Amino acid sequence: SQQGEEDPQALSIQEGENATMNCSYKTSINNLQWYRQNSGRGLVHLILIRSNEREKHSGRLRVTLDTSKKSSSLLITASRAADTASYFCATAGGSQGNLIFGKGTKLSVKP
Amino acid sequence: KAGVTQTPRYLIKTRGQQVTLSCSPISGHRSVSWYQQTPGQGLQFLFEYFSETQRNKGNFPGRFSGRQFSNSRSEMNVSTLELGDSALYLCASSFLDRVNGYTFGSGTRLTVV
């Protein structure tokens, strides 16, 4: 079953604009991870934020985590056409180490 | 440093047949997980192996099985294939997954006809 729900399901922006994707989840977590997937290929790990962290940066990526609201957001600044992909949040929690994925946000960045 | 290698990349099988997919993790990674991705159900966890032991299993029927070898390479097997098994099967390996996350392979696209 899905744990995370991304919002929006699809997002279309122009190059140079910022893209914000949101993720909500249901149960307690150890960490939350964001992945990118290009056109039906494998997933690429972008960033991991632990449950005791509130914000994390990596290059043009900024992730926030609000455990009280069970939500996270991924901000991609100054988007490029190469950022066009599907983005998934995934939670890891409890005694089980497996990831539970949301359904993803499909981002399209137009040149 | 080689990534996670999955073979084959594409596979077409007939209903009722069985299939074996292979995954070679990144050198030094002892944890290997398998996921199924379909348009309808999204990404769903199949199972995880660590040091040749199944550590965790998702909610899939017994037709789905896997194993891990002493060199950490893993295989998953699906018996008595059904049309609904058509999916992208992704393998992921990890070293300290709770710190570093997972590295995924490019997947095996299985089509059941």
CB contact (8 A) between residue B97 and residue A41: no
- Provide the total of helices (H) and of strands (E) in chain A, helices listed first: 0, 11
Check whether A45 has a pLDDT greater than 70. Answer: yes
pLDDT of A9: 92
Q: DSSP character for A53?
A: -
- Distance of alpha carbon A96 from alpha carbon A11, whole angstroms: 32
DSSP codes of every residue in B28-89? T--EEEEEEEETTTEEEEEEEEETTEEEEE-S--TTEEEEE-TTS-EEEEE-S--GGG-EEE
Both tokens of A108, joined, read 């399209």
pLDDT for position A1: 45
CB A46 within 8 A of CB A53: no
Judged by CB atoms closer than 8 Å, whether chains meet at A92 and B97 is answered as: yes
Nearest residue on chain A to B60, judged by CA atoms? Answer: A1
Q: Do A35 and B55 touch (CB under 8 A)?
A: no
Question: Which residues of chain A neighbour B92 with C-beta distances below 8 Å?
Answer: 43
Question: Could you tell me which residues come within 8 angstroms of residue B99 by beta carbon, excluding any fewer than 6 positions away?
Answer: A48
Interval A72-94 mean pLDDT: 94
Q: Do A97 and B99 touch (CB under 8 A)?
A: no
Write out chain B's pLDDT in tens, 113 residues.
Answer: 679 999 999 999 999 999 999 999 999 999 999 999 999 899 999 999 999 999 889 999 999 999 999 999 999 999 999 999 999 999 999 887 666 789 999 999 999 99
What's residue B78's pLDDT?
Answer: 98
pLDDT of amino acid A41: 85
Torsional sign, CA A96, A97, A103, A104: positive
| B6, B98, B104: residue with CB nearest A92 | B98
Confidence of residue A4 (pLDDT cuts 50, 70, 90): low
Neighboring chain A residues of B97 at a CB cutoff of 8 Å: 92, 97
For residue A97, the chain B residues in CB contact (below 8 A) are 31, 48, 55-56, 97-98
What's the start-to-end Cα distance of chain B, in Å? 37
CB-based contact A45 B104, cutoff 8 Å: yes
> Does A42 sit within 8 Å of B101, measured CB to CB?
no
